[in-house]
DNA sequence: TTCTTTCGCAACTCTTTAAGTTACGAACGG
DNA sequence: CCGTTCGTAACTTAAAGAGTTGCGAAAGAA
């Protein structure tokens, strides 16, 4: 898998689930399809579970499924569930000796926060159902 | 220095130059002030030179200075000069076997591009001069 | 000319972060 | 009670950025 791909993995998996809501999938199946590892899948989907987007069941015939209808899950829900910021926020806890630097950081962070909000807003206009619902090729494979 | 701090370094340096336009600064001086290394400074400022924001002179009494007035350099100019995207773009050149994944990536990339444009737009509303021009503390140190 | 300063750049190491892997316990169904 | 599947910790591997070293080129000073 490639770098910083947790969002891709999460969205990809949810989109597939949106197409076949009834079925539970194991982390092995998901990992195979996504070309990665069951543990990585559980790690990522675990965050979605904590956010109430997925449910997981242990043991025989266990696995993962959507916790609510796919049209009620937006890309923003998923993005926020992962708690990672695409708009790079340097968790900048250092004290700046320099006044210019403080002023600068303040201005930049202000802008980044605005942009982050824009991102979430844009992501919230698309649901998982819309993504999953587009597979003319998939049927023939 | 901390991670992905090229933009910080660039903006910080330019802001200081904006306060004292006449003076050329060596990469050593700049590195000392920024708490980093002259080579790192030259690496970053080199990009700004290529973008026409700075000039550099080699040899005795050489160094760096602004290539144009600080009020004609916006944060967006600097951001674009560095050619790095804060809105994480996975340079995703893989072919996706899966139609859902293709559709998904298309939608996400579309949104990220919009957000990137928003970021540049917001950055372009502030100039280096405005950042540099704010140092009540600096004078007393 | 020769020396010193300073940038330009390549090549390397160090550090950090994320992905991948192994392992094992807990839960649950058959 | 046995096999399946998640939950999680701990470790290894891979990639990227920052830091470092070294040296050649350019340019002014002596």
> What is the pLDDT, as a whole number, of residue A97?
74
- At residue B138 the predicted structure's pLDDT band, cuts being 50, 70 and 90, is very low
Distance CA B5, CA B30 (A): 15
Residue nearest to nucleotide D19 (CA to C1'): B37
- C-alpha torsion sign, points B43, B44, B45, B46: positive
Whether the pLDDT of residue A86 is over 90: the answer is: no
Q: Which of B11, B19, B103 sits opposite A134 (nearest CB)?
A: B103
pLDDT at position A139, please? 46
Distance CA B109, CA B107 (A): 6
| A19 inside 8 A of chain B by CB | yes
Look at residue A101 and tell me whether its pLDDT is greater than 70: yes
Stretch A8-16: mean pLDDT: 96
Reply yes or no on whether the pLDDT at B133 is more than 80: no
Cβ of B3 less than 7 A from strand D: yes
Of B107 and B134, the structure prediction assigns the larger pLDDT to: B107
Using an 8 Å CB-CB cutoff, list chain B residues near A131: 100, 103-104, 107
Mean per-residue pLDDT, B9-15: 96
Coil, helix or strand for B63?
A: strand
Alpha-carbon distance of A49 to A44, in angstroms, equals 9
Residue B85 reports pLDDT greater than 90: no
Say if residues A31 and A41 touch (Cβ distance below 8 Å).
yes
Query: What pLDDT was estimated at residue A141?
Result: 42
The distance of A56 to chain B (nearest Cα, Å) reads 23
pLDDT bracket for residue A98 (50, 70, 90): confident
| pLDDT of A140 over the 50 cut | no
Over chain B, what is the mean pLDDT?
A: 89
pLDDT at A10 over 60: yes
Do B78 and B10 form a contact (C-beta atoms < 8 A)? yes
User: How many residues in total does chain B contain?
Assistant: 141
Chain B nearest C-alpha distance from A138 (Å): 6
Tens digits of per-residue pLDDT, B32-67?
999 999 999 999 999 999 999 999 999 999 999 999
- Residue B90 is predicted with a pLDDT of 58
Query: Distance (Å) from CA B18 to C1' C28?
Result: 67
More confident residue, B139 or B127: B127
Joined tokens for residue B40: 């790192």
B27 touches strand C (CB under 7 A): yes
At residue B135, the pLDDT reads: 54
What is the share, in percent, of chain B residues with pLDDT greater than 90? 70
Residue B137, H or E segment = helix B136-140
Question: What is the distance between the alpha carbons of residues A127 and A53, in angstroms, rounded to a whole number?
Answer: 12
3-state secondary structure chain A: CCCCCHHHHHHHHHHHHHHCCCCCECHHHHHHHHCCCHHHHHHHHHHHHHCCCEEEECCCCCEEEECCCHHHCEHHHHHHHHCCCCECCCCCCCCCCCHHHHHHHHHHHHHHHHHHHHHHHHHCCCEHHHHHCCCHHHHHC
Rounded Cα distance, A117 and A61, in Å: 40
- For B128, the 3-state DSSP assignment is helix
The pLDDT tens digits for A35-67 are 999 999 999 999 999 999 999 999 999 999 999
- What is the token pair recorded at B53? 């924001």
What's the pLDDT at A35? Answer: 92
User: Between these two residues, A111 and A140, which has the higher pLDDT value?
Assistant: A111
Q: What percent of chain A has pLDDT over 70?
A: 86
DSSP B67-127: SS-GGG-BHHHHHHHHT--SB------PPPS-HHHHHHHHHHHHHHHHHHHHHHHHHTT-B
| pLDDT interval class at B84 (50, 70, 90) | confident
């Amino acid at each position: 898998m490639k770098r910083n791909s947790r969002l891709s993995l999460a969205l990809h998996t949810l989109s597939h689930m949106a197409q076949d809501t009834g079925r539970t999938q194991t982390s092995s199946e998901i990992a195979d399809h996504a070309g990665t590892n069951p543990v990585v899948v559980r790690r990522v989907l675990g965050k979605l579970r904590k956010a109430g987007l997925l449910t997981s069941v242990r043991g025989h015939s266990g696995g993962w499924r959507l916790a609510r209808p796919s049209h009620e899950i937006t890309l923003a829900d998923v993005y926020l569930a992962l708690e990672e910021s695409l708009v790079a926020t340097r968790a900048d806890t250092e004290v700046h000796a320099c006044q210019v630097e403080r002023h600068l950081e303040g201005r930049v962070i202000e802008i980044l926060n605005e942009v982050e909000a824009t991102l979430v807003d844009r992501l919230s206009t698309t649901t998982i159902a819309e993504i999953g619902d587009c597979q003319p090729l998939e049927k023939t494979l």
